[in-house]
């Protein structure tokens, strides 16, 4: 009779099985997905199908024929990776580029480390950054919402709000001039702005986040510390010089901050184990995001910030270890 199972780390005990957690994340992504379908139409549909099918197919092939493992494609993790990767690209991205990005996310960022739970970096973000470096033009050509619902590759495109602010400040324009060129904060909260599939509506992302909190898929520590750090840091910059720094609410609602803070920085395999470690991790993500957005080469900094903090996670776990079983301290 087998009493103990010996396996490699990480060892995490949770009341919910992996399959239930992953499909819970898929349910939480539905509001944002429906909004992206409304604004970007057939392009969003095709991008999500291509990413999800490729991620599932690649994971099956690698597990079955290279790692000689029983494929676990039905646990939902490959579906989550595919959806999140699709959420991080423009809806008019050529399908073959998305196939390459999905291949990198699963084969390189996930399965080469042994599969689910062993990957040090978030697979979807790794795939997104790989695509950004490999296909910079297509990855930064953002379709205009509503006007491209039945258009695929040759869509009407425009800069994102973050891009407008970044380029305008660099050219010496004041914030008051730039705010006239970007959507209102209410539009950014509800949707209808240019960008990747998953960043058009902060409200839809927050609904998904509340669902995951209710289902105990995530805790509040990483999203709140991440968002609060960005709010405070950009608030200080705004108070110092409001003519060159846009207000903190804009930074909260623009770009992929909500998507990253709620759905990707909270990835169990790549984030710290303890609550204190999570708070430090969220703080680091927030600081790095603002540094890249304000002083970096890219207008957006969420993907790079989370991946950098993924690399720091083992160090955080070493410094903030969970209490040993049976010990008071």
User: What would the mean pLDDT of 218-243 be, rounded to a whole number?
Assistant: 96
Q: How far apart are CA 216 and CA 152, in angstroms?
A: 38
Is the pLDDT at 4 greater than 70? The verdict is: no
- Per-residue pLDDT band for 11 (boundaries 50, 70, 90) equals low
The C-alpha R_g of the chain, in whole angstroms, comes to: 20
**Residue 110 and residue 92 in contact, taking contact as beta carbons nearer than 8 Å:** no
Q: What is the pLDDT of residue 154?
A: 55
Q: What is the pLDDT of residue 251?
A: 95
- Per-residue pLDDT band for 257 (boundaries 50, 70, 90) equals very high
Q: What is the pLDDT of residue 3?
A: 60
pLDDT in tens, 168-212: 888 888 888 888 888 888 988 988 777 888 888 999 999 999 999
Nearest in space to 57 (alpha carbons), one of 39, 71, 38, 40: 71
User: What would the mean pLDDT of 155-165 be, rounded to a whole number?
Assistant: 79
Is the pLDDT at 14 greater than 70? The verdict is: no
Q: What is the pLDDT of residue 267?
A: 94
Is the pLDDT at 8 greater than 80? The verdict is: no
Q: What is the pLDDT of residue 309?
A: 97
Geometric angle at alpha carbon 291, from 105 and 222, rounded to 5°:
60
Is the pLDDT at 255 greater than 80? The verdict is: yes
Q: What is the mean pLDDT of the chain?
A: 89
Q: Percent of the chain, pLDDT > 90?
A: 63
Q: What is the pLDDT of residue 146?
A: 74
pLDDT in tens, 145-155: 777 676 655 55
Q: What is the pLDDT of residue 194?
A: 77
Give me the helices (H) in 13-111, please: 18-61, 77-87, 95-103
pLDDT in tens, 317-328: 999 877 766 666
**Position with higher pLDDT, 298 vs 258:** 258
- Per-residue pLDDT band for 37 (boundaries 50, 70, 90) equals very high
183's enclosing H/E stretch is: none
Indicate left, alpha or beta for 315 from its phi (over 0: left) and psi (-120 to 50: alpha): alpha
Is the pLDDT at 135 greater than 90? The verdict is: yes
Q: Is the dihedral of CA 85, 28, 210, 250 positive or negative?
A: positive
């Amino acid at each position: 009779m087998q009493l103990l199972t010996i396996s490699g780390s990480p060892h995490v005990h949770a009341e919910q099985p992996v399959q239930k957690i992953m499909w819970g994340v898929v349910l939480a992504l539905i509001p944002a997905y429906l909004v992206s379908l409304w604004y970007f139409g057939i392009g969003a549909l095709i991008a999500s199908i291509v990413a999800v099918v490729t991620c599932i197919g690649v994971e099956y092939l690698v597990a079955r024929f290279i790692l000689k493992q029983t494929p676990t494609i039905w646990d939902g993790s490959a579906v989550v990776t595919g959806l999140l990767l699709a959420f991080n690209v423009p809806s008019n991205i050529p399908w073959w580029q998305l196939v390459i990005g999905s291949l990198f996310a699963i084969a390189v960022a996930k399965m080469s480390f042994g599969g689910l739970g062993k990957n040090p970096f978030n697979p979807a973000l790794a795939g997104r950054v790989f695509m950004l470096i490999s296909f910079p033009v297509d990855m930064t050509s953002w379709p205009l919402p509503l006007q491209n619902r039945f258009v695929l590759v040759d869509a009407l495109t425009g800069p994102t709000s973050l891009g407008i602010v970044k380029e305008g400040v660099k050219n010496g324009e004041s914030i008051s001039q730039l705010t006239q060129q970007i959507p209102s904060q209410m539009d950014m909260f509800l949707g209808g702005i240019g960008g990747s599939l998953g960043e058009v509506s902060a409200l839809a992302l927050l609904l998904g986040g509340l669902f995951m909190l209710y289902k105990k898929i995530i805790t509040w520590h990483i999203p709140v510390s991440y968002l609060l750090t960005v709010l405070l840091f950009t608030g200080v910059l705004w108070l110092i010089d409001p003519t060159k720094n846009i207000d903190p609410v804009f930074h909260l609602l623009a770009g992929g901050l909500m998507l990253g803070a709620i759905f990707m920085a909270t990835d169990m395999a790549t984030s710290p184990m303890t609550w204190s470690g999570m708070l430090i991790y969220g703080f680091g993500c927030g600081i790095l995001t603002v540094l890249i957005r304000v002083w970096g080469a890219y207008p957006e900094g969420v993907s790079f910030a989370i991946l950098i903090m993924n690399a720091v996670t083992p160090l955080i776990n070493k410094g903030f270890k969970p209490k040993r079983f049976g010990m008071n301290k």
